[in-house]
Chain A
């Protein structure tokens, strides 16, 4: 190969060639090539300076002019191909100045070049939209990067204010004139191994609680689409792991059995401890949850339910009994592949939610605003008007446009009054799970007609809204109030569901949960469109989930956008390591599988015990000192960073020992196969190559491999287990692995 060509260039060219080739070769699965080409910004012939022009004068393709703040600039990009409808909001332009500050310039337009086939003109405005640093100084060259579908272009120079300055090109950067980019078509040797194995592993990280060797083999055989179809139809939860059937108890844990666990004996007894643990703590649902995550078949259903539980949050902080939480989770998971509007109904009348956000005690005479506020702000529409691609709408003064005000909350509050834990005495109440003398936290809430607000209400107002007024119910009988209240509730939920924000709001949250923290507006828009196209489809969420996972921004063997991906949350960091290495519970009882919650719990994610309704971490969290939108960093600090490394230590080198009575030790990884690899090859090459595929879907850099090899080979070759453990530990604790990308 010519030494003047960068590896980078070769790879992008070869990728595009490979697409053509792969279309010809028939393969035993129905998936198309997941890879998108890597865009290339064109430069001058003999420098890395961008070929550019001021957008107002498209004919003047001179390179050396300096741009001024607020101007529109045009650069030229090749090796990129757009789907129908894919345009300016699918690409982002990042600028780095001489002191290392990064800015993002809004892309105004993307269109095919009138001069050259295969080239696109990208027009952007020289105005920072991140607004973290003060505006870039107009003192010379800046570096320009374009990202698209999780892929980064090369970086080229652009003169800002004046030409020149101190900024240095990226190492290895070469001129990318059209002549050189357009001609190279030699294939490379990088396409070895199974086709798209990197993409499969990434897919499994997004769709499950962690890849396993057998799942990877299966998807290689049947393809992503068939696997998704299977998952959509699979019963949930696993037959071998039904929801625990925990009876309702008294809200006073000290009541005598069977209603309570008390009074607490002195000295304490194991029986008392177990009674408390199994009824008044979240341990039963945590155990069930981790068993399903580690061993369950319906992984996708479990993963989507987990994502939903981080949107429609209720927490063990205020949810006294595991039976209440289990009922809530059943309602949630029932709708995970269902229709959002049905989910809204089931959540609104769920007594666990009612308790957590106080609707269960909100009455006409003493209304409570908690649920009405959060059902709007956190669960469905958010605070600001959104475009369909999830970007925020602003007014003439560039301020975000609020979706509602306190008055709206007051009106919704009135609609949500009068419901309470299901009582047979309430009109038309249906409480099959009720137990005499105990509050019913299993059946949907019933209506106390005497406490429903009967005044007129005005719901959300938004473009295209209809039916936003709820009339008063004057002179109504109890039966009329019953009908009125349920009609009002449905009208209010319809009013929310029909708000244009719901699709982009929900789509972005789910993408963040599953794929990447800062999706392009185009990606959000594509999923949002699917959400809207299936508004009345009982299986709406299947289409939404499919759209999220099969989107070109989610797919591909390697993602090079510096901002692509997401920090693994503690729960998934742990489950990914376990599942990757044939997790088992040594005693076979699964009881230790609940106790592993101690790991994520210490790192800010105590499963089902979020600190507040704002979840374990907020979806809009920006990493301090950066402009990175990265929600999971909300619980990533100096303290938890080390805590997470220590999870890696416990998992790689040990197993969970459980302290409670009658619970055996057990949950552990099994790395006999790695041990064999280490024993068979004392250079550790095989071990590390294998782990590169298995844990990092092929993204391990040569430098990283060298570092790992030195440490692994410092362990005596006579101890292949310790070598394998060392390798697993170092990868599991590396930032490279902590980030799912």
Chain B
């Protein structure tokens, strides 16, 4: 039978992957797992229904209250006036005329507004498209509202009376980040839900193991760590894929080659020290991936030359290489920092949301060009949202403090429809009541700041994405150990797998 290029790559890939794996086994002493892996490798065909999830982490905690805003004056639920009453005097409120309208079927077709940073911008550096707002009307943008860390559903009374376990250390950056990324809120975890999902999907969807199933363009992150999956972490564009993992200083002459050989051999020595072994293992992974990244193709669509733009551009390059990498499912992690807007939020958040919107839109359009619009889904996460009540006063100064439930965006061609998704709050909709010391506020009394209690858990949000990714229902509880505490494990924003 004729051996085509793809088959050839799979086979050689097995060899390389086995080498990399063998090294990992050596480093961590997992020899019998290796034996198991050998038998798994008998399956050769990689399914051909590529899918990828791209997690965009808004580090510091994006203020959802200034990202998705009531743009109506309906008297029955929180409207624009409720919003501006709380935020106008301090200079934090966004003028209603500036909001980018989105009709929301779930909210009886009432109008909501997106932050103006998510729409078209005046011409300027790093403005390369019309932003993500346009995607709403195309059904390629949705919002999951009032989502946050939960151990189990809890009412305000339960919160106040401590009758339902709370997520540990609410309002603390590090802990809330680790819960969003770890996928559970009752205890600290060693692994993230992206990593655990990859542990389960690597064998069927990434048998060659040329690169790990997960790639981070933003360093080591809990989200990307599984028990057996370690992430690839590489630099953002403009660094070429052929440079991100390339050891410098080797010119190919005999002495250089001997040095390179030694450089590589040293990593199989002195592994009694587990710290040395861990460092060697990560470096081994880098060297292995460097080989497969030796050539790459650039993207077609213009990307903004920003932190997030360059990260997503690198993701798009890796995706473009997916056939060579023989990987059928991938998870990516990118991150944009600066959302911890205790002060200077008006300009600060605006700049960040423009950056977010430009980069996400460029990435979406690149996926359209790569014919993968419905195969690749971007979604946002963040530490938490921010207090409805401002901190400080004055346009240049005003900011917000740490809060809880947030609104997150999902972008991609695999969405069901442009809408709000999530579990209803006490007002019968998935959008919280914007009242300090009101029915959705975790705070109470006159000093209440407006920290909305989530009605949708991170796990419900994540599980919906994980199902679409191809995680079998039977594995849901492995990846999300507390998912059983929540009734609805599919929020419905993703189309069912074909």
Contact = CB atoms under 8 A, between A and B. Distances in A.
A701 B269 contact: yes
B286 A641 contact: yes
A739 B281 CA distance: 13
Given A132-B190, A726-B255, A373 B278 contact: no
Interface stretch (B62-70, B105-113, B218-226, B461-469): B218-226
B332 to A, nearest CB: 14
Given A637-B219, A646-B248, A368 B269 contact: no
Interface stretch (B23-31, B71-79, B117-125, B319-327): B23-31
A618 B399 CA distance: 26
A409 B262 contact: no
Interface residues of B, number: 91
A101 B228 CA distance: 12
B276 A739 contact: yes
A628 B259 contact: no
A570 B4 CA distance: 45
Select the residue from A96, A611, A626 with max chain B CB neighbours within 10 A: A626
Interface in A224-259: none
Contacts of A406: 170-171, 442-443
Given A100-B32, A639-B245, A704-B270, A711 B262 contact: yes
Interface in B424-455: 442-443, 447
Given A614-B174, A618-B174, A701 B282 contact: no
Contacts of B254: 714
B263 A730 contact: yes
B261 interface: yes
Indicate the member of B263, B272, B290, B342 with the most A CB atoms within 10 Å: B342
Contacts of B60: 612
Interface in A656-697: none
Interface in A532-567: 560, 562-567
Contact of A638 (B24, B172, B229, B234): B234
B259 A642 contact: no
A636 B285 CA distance: 12
A386 to B, nearest CB: 15
A5 interface: no
Interface string B236-250: 000000001111110
B259 A653 contact: no
A736 B270 contact: yes
A642 B245 contact: yes
A563 B399 CA distance: 43
Interface string A438-456: 0000000000000000000
Contact of B263 (A399, A402, A733, A736): A733
B444 to A, nearest CB: 10
Contacts of A317: 338
Contacts, number: 250
Nearest to B397: A361
Interface in A106-162: 132-133
Interface stretch (B129-137, B373-381, B385-393): B385-393
A648 to B, nearest CB: 9
B369 interface: no
A613 to B, nearest CB: 8
B408 interface: no
B12 interface: no
B90 A366 contact: yes
A563 B274 contact: yes
B231 A739 contact: no
A166 B32 contact: yes
A99 B248 contact: no
Contacts of A400: 168
Interface in A69-100: 96, 98-100
A362 B175 CA distance: 24
Interface residues of A, number: 88
A627 interface: yes
A726 B256 CA distance: 9
Interface in B336-350: 337-338, 340, 342-343
A369 B172 CA distance: 11
B244 A639 contact: yes
B45 interface: no
Contacts of B266: 704, 707-708, 730, 734-736
Given A368-B391, A373-B402, A625 B225 contact: yes
Contact of B255 (A409, A564, A722): A722
B29 A100 contact: yes
Interface in A443-490: none
Interface in B272-316: 272-283, 285-287, 289-290
A604 B391 contact: no
Nearest to A94: B274
Contacts of A402: 168-169
B157 interface: no
A367 B447 CA distance: 10
B88 interface: no
Contact of B219 (A133, A369, A635): A635
B37 interface: no
Contact of A626 (B171, B247, B278, B290): B278
A563 B338 CA distance: 35
A215 interface: no
A176 interface: no
A628 B342 contact: no
B337 to A, nearest CB: 6
20 contacts: A132-B190, A361-B392, A362-B391, A402-B168, A406-B443, A564-B275, A612-B337, A622-B190, A623-B278, A624-B231, A625-B226, A625-B228, A638-B232, A641-B286, A645-B263, A708-B266, A714-B254, A730-B266, A733-B263, A735-B280
Q: Which are the 8 A-B pairs with shortest beta-carbon distances?
A: A637-B233, A714-B258, A624-B225, A711-B262, A638-B286, A100-B29, A649-B249, A735-B279
Given A626-B278, A627-B190, A645-B248, 12 more contacts: A133-B227, A368-B342, A373-B402, A406-B170, A562-B273, A565-B273, A622-B190, A624-B195, A624-B231, A633-B278, A642-B244, A707-B265
Interface of B: 24-25, 28-33, 59-60, 90, 168-175, 187, 190-191, 195, 216, 219-220, 224-235, 244-249, 254-255, 257-259, 261-263, 265-267, 269-270, 272-283, 285-287, 289-290, 337-338, 340, 342-343, 390-393, 397-399, 401-402, 442-443, 447
